[in-house]
Chains A and B, each alone.
Chain A
Amino acid sequence: MVVRSIQRTLQRGALDRDIALACLAVWLFGLSYGAAAVASGFPLWLPAAASLLVIAGSSELLFIGVVAAGGSPIAAALAGLLVNARHLPYGLALPDGVLGRGWRRLLGTHLMNDESVVFALARPDLERRRAAYWACGLGVLVAWPGGAVLGGLLASVVRDTSALGLDSVFPAVILALIFPALHDRKTLLAALCGAGIAVATTPFLPAGVPVLLALAGVSVTAAQRAWSRG
């Protein structure tokens, strides 16, 4: 059963190459994260444990950043949770049946992240959505902690990791992944409004809130829908 599902997955050439490359990019981002954590004075186990238990890159970077800046770990966790609140609407967008049942559903839930959701939603039917979600989710489960640990080990060797430009990897990856969805003009308009709102409010609001406020951009699509129907 498992072997057959892996074979079936492997037959979908192009899709799997994209997922593998996304996981490679996550690995690169993990490298920069682990390096940043150890370079700010944290023990290696912290990025290692966080990357396995949280698997949500930007919230982990924020958590470590807040504690490194002298904030309390509880405040840092609250900030990270604010950033991760977007997983609730992600879960609402995933069709029933992608996550599976029983213990598998628990693992599937843990694998919900920016990449696995975007690959799943880009597929036309449930079968392919489930395959893409699991392939990408499991890939990230290996690549993210793997990158973080290696990055933490490298940090003692390479002094200035920001010189490698790895902080551009995460936004570039997500941008490349959502491009196909942006060909739809209404989605593009909503995304541009949302991104504008998020950037404009970043100076004034706690981290994480601006990204959630971006959801107001969706009202543009809803309004257009009502207009074209009315």
Chain B
Amino acid sequence: MLIGGLGMLAAGTFAFRLSGPALRSRIRVPAPVSKLLEVAAVVLLAALVAVTALTSGHGFGGYARAIGVGVGGLLAWRKAPFIVVVLAAAATTALLRLLGVP
């Protein structure tokens, strides 16, 4: 059962990955549409950031993670090196949890 579920997830994910390029090579995508599709990819990623930073299941995911990601975002905006952004986000969240922030 567990293996069946895993196989289904793996096969279905591959099908999603396969269908985008397959559709694209069958139709001619005009330049403005292609620009719009790139914006769509950024919008999906931004939504993924917001959902994984702020929520857990169907509720709020706690302040420690949200603030950690916020600190990382601030550093990225100030053009800090990538590794600084990543470590600062994890360290902030870890520190807040150490202090008892949920």
Contacts and interface: CB of A to CB of B under 8 A. Distances in A.
A91 B27 CA distance: 13
Interface residues on A, range: 35 or more
Contacts of B86: 21, 24-25, 28, 169, 172-173, 176
B47 A54 contact: no
B17 A169 contact: no
Interface residues of B, number: 70
A130 to B, nearest CB: 13
Given A172-B73, A221-B36, A88 B93 contact: no
B92 A202 contact: no
Given A21-B83, A112-B17, A172-B85, A164 B44 contact: no
Interface stretch (A5-13, A79-87, A147-155): A79-87
B87 to A, nearest CB: 9
A145 interface: no
Interface of A: 18, 21-22, 24-25, 28, 46, 49-50, 53-54, 56, 58-60, 63, 65, 67, 72-74, 76-78, 80-81, 84-96, 99, 109-110, 112, 114, 117-118, 121, 162-179, 181-182, 186-187, 190-199, 202-204, 207, 210-212, 214-215, 217-218, 221-222, 225
Given A165-B94, A218-B36, 8 more contacts: A18-B82, A28-B90, A50-B10, A99-B21, A164-B90, A165-B89, A172-B73, A175-B49
- Report, nearest first, the 3 A-B pairs whose CB atoms are least far apart: A91-B20, A73-B5, A165-B93
